[in-house]
């Protein structure tokens, strides 16, 4: 099991398995929610268990976001269709040992905000096509 926690420790998460994927999303919603890019590691719904005061909001037609109701730490976004999670890397020591492999919405990232390394970078159009989302589905 991989364990993590929010800033205050009131919310804990246990994950049986994480994918090797770690990504950063620069879309406006993620930047406003996380205060920067939202960087996440991915888990399957049946493998993720939260304990503590988790609050959620349906942030779009296709995703729900969660945070700690005590300290406000961003915890996750969950894809409504399949229940998979993008878990905030800050929950885990050393980002659960994952390395960044993709950035979404790079055409929306702030100037001067750059992640180093050799990984895939996708524009808004490329990101929407990758996930099969039409522009009208995003808030």
Rounded Cα–Cα distance for residues 44 and 59 (Å): 20
User: Is 10-14+18-133 in CATH node 2.170.150.70?
Assistant: yes
On whether the pTM is more than 0.85, the answer is: yes
Measured between alpha carbons, how far is 67 from 13 in angstroms, rounded to an integer? 12
**Cα–Cα nearest to 104, from 69, 63, 72:** 63
pLDDT, averaged in runs of 10, over the chain (139 residues): 96 93 92 93 89 95 94 94 93 93 95 91 94 66
Rg for the chain, CA atoms, rounded: 14
Whole-number Å distance between alpha carbons of 11 and 5: 6
């Amino acid at each position: 099991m991989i364990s993590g926690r929010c800033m205050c420790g009131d919310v804990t998460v246990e994950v049986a398995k994480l994918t090797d994927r770690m990504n950063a999303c620069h879309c406006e919603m993620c930047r406003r929610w996380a205060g920067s890019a939202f960087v996440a590691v991915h888990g399957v719904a049946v493998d993720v268990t939260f304990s503590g005061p988790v609050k959620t909001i349906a942030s779009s037609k296709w995703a729900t976001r969660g945070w700690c109701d005590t300290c406000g730490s961003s915890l996750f976004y969950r894809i409504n269709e399949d229940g998979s999670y993008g878990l905030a890397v800050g929950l885990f020591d050393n980002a659960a040992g994952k390395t960044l492999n993709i950035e979404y919405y790079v055409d929306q990232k702030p100037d001067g905000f750059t992640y180093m390394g050799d990984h895939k970078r996708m524009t808004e159009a490329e990101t929407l096509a990758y996930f099969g989302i039409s522009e009208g589905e995003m808030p």
